[in-house]
Amino acid sequence: MAHIAHDPDARPDMRTTHDLRVVLPRTAEVRGDRLFIGGVDVVELAQTRGTALYVMDEAHIRGQLRSLISALRSRYERSEVAYAGKAFTSKAMVALVGEEGGCLDVSSGGELAIARAAGFSMKRVVVHGNNKTLLELVEAIDAGVGRIVVDCFEELERISALATERASTQAILLRIAPGIVADTHEYLQTGGEDSKFGFGIASGAALDAIRRALDAPGVVLKGLHCHIGSQIFALDSFAKAIEVMADLIASVRTETGFITEDLDLGGGLGIAYQAADKPSDVEQFAEVITSAVKREFGARDLPLPLVTVEPGRSIVANAGVTLYTVGAVKEIPGIRTYIAVDGGMTDNIRTALYDARYESILANKADQPRSTLVTIAGKHCESGDVILIDTPLQPAEPGDTLCVFTTGAYNQSMASNYNRQVRPGVVFVKDGIVREVLRRETYDDLMRCEV
């Protein structure tokens, strides 16, 4: 049975919702004792739509996309933002990315299918995956995607054969493992060979892959890709990765004459999950990326490439919250108080998966201080099914609406049907209007695959 460790530093923090500004969706505000997002009373939303429910602040998502695109373009004209659909995908989300002028990073046939159904421009799609199936490659090539990021030699051969059969040409990038491991606060330079993703530099695989890609029929090598990690606070890690990539690109030019037109730097910009977190903003991120590209390419006399970044979390995480209804309060004297809610690891696996931390409030007591210390437990048959451990909260009673912040990324997209739980719906809220973008599953959905 999983043991849930105590956080020895945890205590009630007496904060009210206002004090949590850094994790709140942009339009969050407290009116009376209640939390509103996008002009919508979330307590009423929970009562009328049912819980668990994901709520996303549309203005926040659009604002993040818009400000990142303009922060990059104002410094470096030839830049693109490819939203990483793995963070959260639905047709409405994909359509919004298109409206804001973004490209789209998909990492499976399913994400590509949703992009197609949303009418997203296939030319603006970047396809990822370390072991794309043959069917996924066929679908991507036949759909006319802009770029496929090739992860291994076998895939290069498969794409080349498929494109040749079709008498077409597929634009590709090669995924490079640059040997940088970004920690939240610093980077580590490693041998970089121990990754399931991409071609290592030190082993010579990267240069070999570039040579083979240049010779392969049916493909046109546009450039290189790297992704150094996720939830990165130390922007220096991105600058270091750009330096390593520029070194590789310069030596490739010497060895093969190949000039890299496209440089895709992956995602990874960190965001605030807790009130004390101090992430960088998109302006600082754009400044570091663009100045490093100009500096490192300039120093090697390389032509400036088209620069793409692939943010997921930093676009949607803080936009989203999850609403639950408190069902039970279990006080174990001298040990802890569990607050049990009507969801859990099926809608938010991040705590069980990697000890993620969040902030939460009771949305119907949003003006009150968080004067108790509790553990929020889910309803599933696992002791490790917890969402927040030793967290400050307003005094809870059954029927209260719990709001967990920063759940817009890697929550719905990682949701499961464990315990045959139906997955929650997603609503976008904006200017007082609620737009359902994914409906809550029903038992009929659970039966759909039964034969």
Ligand X SMILES: Cc1ncc(COP(=O)(O)O)c(C=O)c1O
The least CB distance from residue 224 to ligand X, in Å, is 13
User: Quick check: 267 binds ligand X (CB under 6 A)?
Assistant: yes
Long-range contacts from 128-133, C-beta under 8 angstroms, 24+ separation? 128/175, 130/196, 130/197, 130/198, 131/155, 133/109
Q: Considering the rule CB under 6 A, would residue 46 count as an interface residue with ligand X? A: no
What sign results for the dihedral spanned by CA atoms 321, 322, 327, 333? negative
| Segment lying near ligand X (by CB under 6 A), choices 82-90, 204-212, 336-344, 391-399 | 82-90
Contacts of 103 (CB under 8 A, 6+ apart): 80, 81, 82, 83, 97, 124, 125, 126, 146, 308
Q: How far is the CB of 42 from ligand X (least distance, A)?
A: 25
Q: What is d(CA 161, CA 167) in angstroms, rounded to the nearest whole number?
A: 10
Among 266, 279, 305, 343, the residue binding ligand X under the rule CB under 6 A is: 266
Contact residue for ligand X among 227, 240, 380, 430 (CB under 6 A): 227
Q: Under the criterion CB under 6 A, does residue 192 sit at the interface with ligand X? A: no
Q: Is residue 111 part of the contact set for ligand X (CB under 6 A)?
A: no
Q: Residue 339 belongs to what H/E stretch?
A: strand 336-341
Query: What's the closest the beta carbon of residue 102 comes to ligand X, in angstroms?
Result: 13
Please, what is the minimum distance in Å from the beta carbon of residue 218 to ligand X? Answer: 24
Active-site residue (options: 103, 226, 381, 449): 381
Taking alpha carbons only, the member of 299, 379, 392, 308 closest to residue 346 is: 379
Provide the token pair at 210. Answer: 């570039």
- 3-class SS at 40? strand
Of 116, 119, 139, the closest CA to residue 129 belongs to: 139
Q: By CB under 6 A, name the one of 34, 60, 147, 313 that touches ligand X.
A: 313
Q: Is 282 in the site for ligand X (CB under 6 A)?
A: no
> Segment contacting ligand X (CB under 6 A): 37-45, 54-62, 263-271, 369-377?
263-271
- Is 103 designated active site? no
| CA pair distance 333, 336, nearest whole angstrom | 7
- What three-state secondary structure class fits 309? strand
Q: Shortest Cβ distance from residue 128 to ligand X (Å)?
A: 5
356-375 residues near ligand X, rule: CB under 6 A = none
- 84 contacts ligand X (rule: CB under 6 A): yes
Tell me how far, at minimum, the Cβ of 360 lies from ligand X, in Å.
22
Interacting residues of 426 by C-beta distance below 8 A, sequence separation 6+: 53, 54, 55, 56, 90, 412, 436, 437, 438
Q: What is the Cα Rg of the chain in Å?
A: 23
Is residue 268 close enough to count as binding ligand X by CB under 6 A?
yes
Asked if residue 34 binds ligand X (CB under 6 A), the reply is no
178 is a contact residue toward ligand X (CB under 6 A): no
Q: How many residues bind ligand X (CB under 6 A)?
A: 16
Among 230, 360, 394, 407, binds ligand X (CB under 6 A): 230
Binding to ligand X by residue 311, rule CB under 6 A?
A: yes
DSSP 411: T
Binding residues vs ligand X (CB under 6 A): 84, 86-87, 105, 128, 227, 230, 266-269, 310-314
Q: Write out the catalytic residue numbers.
A: 381
